[in-house]
Amino acid sequence: MAITDFLERNARLYGQETALVELNPSEARDNGVTWRDFQLIETASDAPYRREISWKDFDRKANRFANLLLSRGVKPGTKVAILLMNCLEWLPLYFGILKAGCIAVPMNFRYSSDEIKYCLDLADVEVLVFGPEFISRMDPIVPEISGVKTYFFVGKAAPAYSEDVLRLMGYCSSSAPPVKLEDEDLAAIYFSSGTTGFPKAILHNHGALVSSCLTEREHHGQKREDVFLCIPPLYHTGAKMHWFGSLLSGSRAVLLRGVKPEWILRAVTEEKCTIVWLLVPWAQDILDAIDSGRISLGDYYLDQWRLMHIGAQPVPPSLVGRWLKIFPHHQYDTNYGLSESIGPGCVHLGVENTHKVGAIGKPGYLWEAKIVNGEREVSRGEVGELLVKGPGVMLCYYKNPEATAEVLKDGWLYTGDMAKEDEDGFIYLVDRKKDVIISGGENLYPVQIEDYLRAFDKIKDVAVIGLPDARLGEICAAIIELKEGETSDEEEINAFCGGMPRYKRPKKIFFDKVPRNPTGKIEKPVLREKYCKGSLVEQQING
The string of DSSP codes covering 325-381 is: HH-TT-EEEEEEEEGGGTEEEEEE--TT-GGGBTB-BEE-TT-EEEEEETTEEPPTT
pLDDT tens, position by position, 463-484: 998 888 766 768 889 999 999 8
In this structure, is residue 510 part of a structural domain? yes
Residue 494 belongs to a domain with what CATH number? 3.30.300.30
**Rounded percentage of the chain residues whose pLDDT exceeds 70:** 90
**pTM of this prediction?**
0.82
Cα–Cα distance between 153 and 130 in angstroms, integer? Answer: 5
In this structure, is residue 456 part of a structural domain? yes
In this structure, is residue 284 part of a structural domain? no
DSSP state of 434: G
Residue-number span of the structural domain to which 468 is assigned:
436-542
Residue 535 has pLDDT above 60, yes or no: no
| Residue 312: band (very low, low, confident or very high) from pLDDT cuts 50, 70, 90 | low
Q: Please report, to the nearest 10 degrees, the dihedral formed by the alpha carbons of residues 69, 72, 73, 74 taken in order.
A: -30
In angstroms, the first-to-last Cα distance of the chain is 65
Residue 541 has pLDDT above 90, yes or no: no
Mean pLDDT value across residues 295-324? 87
In this structure, is residue 329 part of a structural domain? no
Instruction: Report the pLDDT value the prediction gives residue 195, as an integer from 0 to 100.
Output: 46
Residue 30 has pLDDT above 50, yes or no: no
Instruction: Report the pLDDT value the prediction gives residue 369, as an integer from 0 to 100.
Output: 97
Mean pLDDT value across residues 281-305? 92
Q: How many CB atoms lie within 10 A of CB 375?
A: 6
Residue 44 has pLDDT above 60, yes or no: no
Instruction: Report the pLDDT value the prediction gives residue 524, as an integer from 0 to 100.
Output: 81
| Residue 37: band (very low, low, confident or very high) from pLDDT cuts 50, 70, 90 | very low
Cα–Cα distance between 20 and 542 in angstroms, integer? Answer: 60
Residue 451 has pLDDT above 90, yes or no: no
Burial class, 12, CB count within 10 angstroms (exposed 0-12 / middle 13-18 / buried 19+)? exposed
Strands 125-130 and 79-83: parallel
138-154 per-residue burial string, b: 16 or more CB within 10 A, e: under 16: beebbeebeebebbbbb
pLDDT tens, position by position, 87-141: 999 999 999 999 999 999 999 888 889 889 999 999 999 999 999 999 999 999 9
In this structure, is residue 151 part of a structural domain? no
State the average pLDDT for the chain: 88
In this structure, is residue 303 part of a structural domain? no
Higher pLDDT, 450 or 30: 450
Instruction: Report the pLDDT value the prediction gives residue 221, as an integer from 0 to 100.
Output: 92
Q: Are 504 and 464 in contact (CB under 8 A)?
A: no
Mapped onto helix, strand or coil, the DSSP state of residue 19 is: strand
Structural domains in the chain (count)? 1
In this structure, is residue 418 part of a structural domain? no
In this structure, is residue 307 part of a structural domain? no
Mean pLDDT value across residues 275-290? 90
**Rounded percentage of the chain residues whose pLDDT exceeds 90:** 67
Query: Residue 150: which H helix or E strand, with range?
Result: strand 150-153
Instruction: Report the pLDDT value the prediction gives residue 39, as an integer from 0 to 100.
Output: 43
Mapped onto helix, strand or coil, the DSSP state of residue 63 is: helix
- The DSSP bridge partners found for residue 283 are none
| Residue 374: band (very low, low, confident or very high) from pLDDT cuts 50, 70, 90 | confident
Higher pLDDT, 81 or 37: 81
